[in-house]
Amino acid sequence: MREPVKDTGRLLHILESIDNIYEFADRKTFEQIEGDKMRFFAIVYQLVVIGEAANMLTKEFRHEHPQTPWREIVSMRNFIVHGYNVVDKTEVWSVIENDLGPLKQQIEQYISELECE
């Protein structure tokens, strides 16, 4: 059974992984990340961590925060893990460029809300 008290920890894992991705991708172009196997797979691993942590959040928490695309986050994790040989580098880049910023803002807000309870 998933415990609500652990939701804060899971959110902190997500936030840490987002920060790691930003560090790994800092000032890099798509071509630089695509051409650097170690950097690319470090980023992909962090996306897996984000998806796993999202999956481990309580159903109640996810239900209370429907503005975050939890299903898509977990689905991406599953696709990476099970479709490891067909991970689309442009899709990973798109996530970095378009999705992580809004997700980070939401996660920071959720952590603040939980700390005030």
The confidence band for 84, taking pLDDT boundaries of 50, 70 and 90, is confident
Residue 81 has pLDDT above 70, yes or no: yes
Q: Is 10 exposed, middle or buried (0-12, 13-18, 19+ CB in 10 A)?
A: buried
The structure tokens 């936030």 sit at 15
Give residue 115's pLDDT.
Answer: 87
Q: How far apart are CA 84 and CA 72, in angstroms?
A: 17
Catalytic site positions: 77, 82
Residue 39 has pLDDT above 80, yes or no: yes
**Domains in the chain: how many in total?**
1
Single pTM value for the model: 0.93
- What 3 state SS string does 41-90 have? HHHHHHHHHHHHHHHHCCHHHHHHCCCCCHHHHHHHHHHHHHCHHHCCHH
Q: 3-class DSSP state for residue 29?
A: coil
The count of other CB atoms within 10 Å of the CB of residue 7 is 22
pLDDT in tens, 20-35: 999 999 999 999 999 9
> What rounded mean pLDDT belongs to the chain?
95
Q: How far apart are CA 93 and CA 90, in angstroms?
A: 5
